[in-house]
Amino acid sequence: MREFSEIIKARDWENPLVTSSLSRLAAHAPLCAYPDVQSAVSKAPSPNQQSLNGSWQFQLFAKPEAVPEAFIQPHFDDADWLTIAVPSNWQLQPNVADNPIYTNIQYPFPDNPPYVPQVNPTGCYRTSFVLPPEWQQRQVRINFDGVNSAFHLWCNGRWVGYAQDSRVAAEFDLTEFVQTGENGLAVMVLRWSDGSYLEDQDMWWLSGIFRDVTLLSKPQLHIADVEIQADLDAIYQNGQLVVKTRLNQNSELSKVRLQLFDGDQSLLDITHSIAQQAAVDEKGGYQDRIQQIASVPQVQPWSAEIPHLYRCVISLLDHNNQLLDCEAYDIGFRKVEIKQGQLLLNGKPLLIRGVNRHEHHPERGHALTLKDMRQDIILLKQNNFNAVRCAHYPNHPAWYELCNQYGLYVVDEANLETHGQFPMQRLSNEPNWLNAYLERVVRMVERDKNHVSIIIWSLGNESGIGNNHHAMYQWLKQRDPSRPVQYEGGGSMTAATDIICPMYARVEQDQFFAAEAVTKWAIKKAISMPGEQRPLILCEYAHAMGNSVGNFMQYWQAFRQYPRLQGGFIWDWVDQGLTKFDQEDDPYWAYGGDFGDQINDRQFCINGLLFPDRTLHPAMHEVKKAQQFFQFKLAKAEQGYELTVTSEYQFKTVKDCFLHWKLSANGFPIRFNYNGLNLAPQGSQTIRIPLDIHLLPDTLYLIDVEVVLNQTQTWAENGFSLAKQQFVLPEVIALSEPPLRSSALPHFVEDETQLTVQQPHFQIVFDKKSGLLSSWLKNGAEQLAQPLRNNFYRAPLDNDIGTSEAHHADPNAWISRWQQSGLWSLSEKCLAFKLELLSDCLQICVQHGYYHQEQLLLKSQWVYRITAEGELDLAVQVEVADGLPSLPRVGVELALVNSDSRVKWFGRGPHENYPDRKDAAHIGQYDLSQFELHTNYIFPSENGLRCDVRELTVAELKVTGLFNFAVSRFSQANLAEARHTCDLVADPCLYVRLDGFHMGVGGDDSWTPSVHREYQLSQKQYHYQLHFTL
């Protein structure tokens, strides 16, 4: 037994050689110890398991040396300690004086491996449990599914063991420590350990017992581990089942019974004795294990499309066939292969529609519930994802069971990242760290080996490449040749990966990656390298930080065009915001630096497709559209059109869907129908759409098609939309310029300072000195809170800011270019103001110059035409000086007095969309409140744009033309200055931003200027027209 003082002195948490040697049990598949076969089949709660989740006593100390030795004793007085929920992270508990810390790369402590700071917050937990009487004379184990970052365990005052690696199970044998009746547990958890150097993932540094704690009772002779290989034969029809059962000790008189169930139907029931197996064992005979092999004809193969599961039950029997122990697992028959440069499942090439997912909850941090996990699974399925990368660590055990059940392909990733090391691979070549590296992949594989959803193992993330990685890869290939291995470090194309798995590689453009001094080849180029025959799957792409995910469709065009480009995993699933409260006690989502953490990477953890509460970012609509499993083609036919719908499912026959189509004129439906679908895998079906109408001029005719469920699924209700497409009919006649209906000139008054255009029902005033339309009255009531003026600005997006910070400007970032060029500090001058009387209207020509340090950068000419009816045409021309970067926008901004109006428009919607992210936003008639038009990004920025708008109505203002618009209660200055949503202050007016042109948002990554050239505003002249009616 180790004394407490010896433990403190030994500092196991600063020794990378201390891995599994301190009493932790060997890793194995999860165990339940079912009392009988019926319980195992039905998954009834096992009486041999007892959860210790709940309220524990807790106290935080500044360092392990400050912990009182007596705390390990059962009768220690902890009445003054806090009560804490287990599982949880202590930094998120009230009255615990320790802060969450967010970093992306840098360690939040001095980088001096394996040593950690002397001030090392240490959480001490205490609880007790009563040993069930029926557990007497049985083995008793305790399992911790996740503790960050390292811990020592005591039972009844006696030291039990030590563990680190916060993301895999730590299990201990308590048999010799427990007693009849009540038993006391004490756990000392250290915030920092040498393991922390291997857990430098892009996430919050949070500590504590954050996953389940469970007691397990086993008979003295019991099943210690089960490995199940459920393979398919060469024609992918018949199952080949191999089950390897290991006991905790030799027992030649015992037998193992293997049963396989498909629902209630028994498919297999065989029994072998240990002695029988040992007699034929080629290694000389083992009496603690058995291998059973069986063929299962005509199985239903598992896939994410058809996640068919069988129940495999393994029973340990004594020589009289009495049950001693029983375990059971959901299994699926499938085969993973790489052939001819493609990743195959059951002989078919996969197209990975994937995302990187951190385990995160805004209140509970890393402590997710089964309900949280199920919510994520349902959202993944609903948005056309078929794969998830466990970034960057093994997930909660229940996650894999849900992926098996609902159907998701999983990349299971070892809990390994050393991103903050310089060089990154520093520890990856250190022999002293070899065991620590190896153990992380070994324990992951041994825990998760039976999950059918796991199709790829990963060695970890962003640790460079070194000898330790090659050792991990070699162990994996020997241990489990049935699955490929991927690892991105070292340039994604090393000998330690079976799949080319770059992060943030572009479709067409090479990128140099300074951190590892390697070039990220464009993905098209990577697959064409001489001698390269591996598939390419992006381990990270489409960095979804804030208002992002532009250019996304380009990736999917390439994935569908090139067979060896097999998809990728978006970064990432959910914004890692934590709930905090402002001075008014209103909640907002916080990020790095908001908790007093001096070392932080600010909002770089806010890059999900979902907000922390799992509501969707607008970009999710684009992702769902790109990844949809149906493709559509429209062809002209006699008296109408033929629509061909093609299924991209590889295994599923589509019979549970309807196809709806709708013909509309200027967004108003005029014909619609629906058809049942019957599509074989990769099959097509053609549907006739009649067009028996007279086409009107100046009318936009659209055909919208949508595939919806006609049966409720486990993840969606009947009627749920799976895929959609919109077609603009070629018969469309372009919308003409609205006619001016006036037959007489409006009355006007002009003096040296202003021009007033006045009729009985309206009045428009121009300030001649500024050149601005400063007032617009309707029936005597002012409509404008601010004048109309040019708008060349947008509140910077994360993608505009790049790596710039308050103390460091990235010269390559868009914001730096705009600032350095003077675009952010323009002075406006009216260069000319001229009134002309035309036959049917007044024409006012205004020229403005925009200067920086007396240098003319932009010049605009506005030509107004105003009729007696109060209609106003505005033609805008903008000239751009040489040498300027792409403009953020070219448009007009005005502010309306009426701030509570609904907004109606004919254009793309209903959700926010931008020029490089608008494919999923179909053209239609929409009506939303101004609050619904605002996207409340955690880090405020430009938001809420709607593109390709023909008509807009806000309050009493109507605008027509072809433009983009955004309506907001927040000024651009407020959006730019705010750092959190609680910093936004709604003005009493309503800002209306009308853009002739708007730069894309980008999104290939967020640290280089990722807006593609075709979405940049780099022309020298711009022209657009707007027609106003008030």
Q: Which domains does the chain have, with CATH numbers?
A: 4-218 (2.60.120.260), 223-336 (2.60.40.10), 351-575+604-624 (3.20.20.80), 628-728 (2.60.40.10), 747-1029 (2.70.98.10)
Out of 171, 327, 359, 540, which one is annotated catalytic? 540
pLDDT at 22: 87
Beta bridge partners, 344, equal: 337, 349
Mean pLDDT computed over every residue of the chain = 95
- Per-residue model confidence as pLDDT tens digits over 621-651: 999 999 999 999 999 998 899 999 999 999 9
pLDDT at 278: 56
Cβ atoms within 10 Å of 371's Cβ, excluding its own: 8
pLDDT at 284: 46
- Per-residue model confidence as pLDDT tens digits over 29-60: 999 999 999 999 999 999 999 999 999 999 99
pLDDT at 252: 81
Known catalytic residue at 836: no
Largest CA distance in the chain: 113
Integer Cα distance of 663 and 671 in angstroms: 5
Integer Cα distance of 518 and 902 in angstroms: 52
Q: Which amino acid is at 23?
A: S
For the sheet with 323-331, list strands across it.
265-273, 255-262, 310-317, 323-331
User: What one-character DSSP code corresponds to residue 523?
Assistant: H
pLDDT at 282: 47
Residues 984, 944 contacting (CB under 8 angstroms): no
Known catalytic residue at 462: yes
Q: What SS3 class is residue 382?
A: helix
Q: Which of 779, 631, 732, 86 is nearest to 369 (CA)?
A: 86
Peptide bond into 149 cis (omega under 30): yes
Integer Cα distance of 786 and 455 in angstroms: 59
Q: Which of 12, 91, 22, 68 is nearest to 186 (CA)?
A: 68
Peptide bond into 35 cis (omega under 30): no
Which own/partner contact pairs does 305-308 have at CB distance under 8 Å and 24+ positions apart?
305/386, 305/407, 305/649, 305/650, 305/651, 305/652, 306/407, 306/651, 306/652, 307/332, 307/404, 307/405, 307/406, 307/407, 307/453, 308/332
pLDDT at 702: 97
Tally: H helices and E strands in the chain? 14, 59
Q: Which two tokens stand for residue 709?
A: 């469920």
Q: Which two tokens stand for residue 467?
A: 């000898």
List average pLDDT for each run of 10 residues in the chain, which is 1030 residues long.
93 88 92 98 98 98 98 96 98 95 96 97 98 95 98 98 96 97 98 98 98 98 98 97 95 93 97 74 64 98 99 97 98 98 98 99 98 99 99 98 99 98 95 97 98 99 97 98 97 95 93 67 93 97 98 97 98 98 95 92 96 98 99 93 98 96 96 95 96 87 97 97 96 54 83 95 96 96 96 97 75 94 96 95 97 97 96 98 97 92 96 98 97 97 98 96 98 97 96 98 94 97 96
Q: Which of 614, 111, 174 is nearest to 382 (CA)?
A: 614
Q: Which of 847, 865, 833, 830 is nearest to 757 (CA)?
A: 865
Q: What SS3 class is residue 767?
A: strand
- Per-residue model confidence as pLDDT tens digits over 393-446: 999 999 999 999 999 999 999 999 999 999 999 999 999 999 999 999 999 999
- Per-residue model confidence as pLDDT tens digits over 522-571: 999 999 999 999 999 999 999 999 999 999 999 999 999 999 999 999 99
